Amino acid sequence: MVDPDCIFCKIAGGEIDAEMVHEEEDIVAFKDINGQAPTHVLVIPRSHVPNLEAMADLPDSVAKRLLEVSSEVAGKLGVDQSGYAVRINNGPDAGQEVFHLHLHVLGGRKLGMP
């Protein structure tokens, strides 16, 4: 499923340019244009899933693959040895701004918890 009004669906579908780091059939990863760390990549399913509660709509293999791709991206970008964070903001009070499930892969500096 794709939401024609969703910016992340448009990026996954190639309608909007992004600096892609990883692409495969069900998942893409691209650099965040408003990065909060030297390495800040968003990993998303190509299917529109608005939040964690709707994640059950994804096949289990895709849900698992989101985490695997996050780890692969960290390795590809060289932050896997020093450490990186994988974060999901779920809902407006948690800072979710785009309502398409996405994992933030952050690294390249010391990270703390808010």
Residues identified as active-site: 102
> Cα torsion at 49, 26, 104, 78 (round to 10°)?
180
Cβ burial 17-53 (10 Å sphere, 16+ → b, else e): ebeebbeeebbbbbebeeeebebbbbbbbbbbbbeee
Provide φ and ψ at 56, rounded to 5°. -60, -15
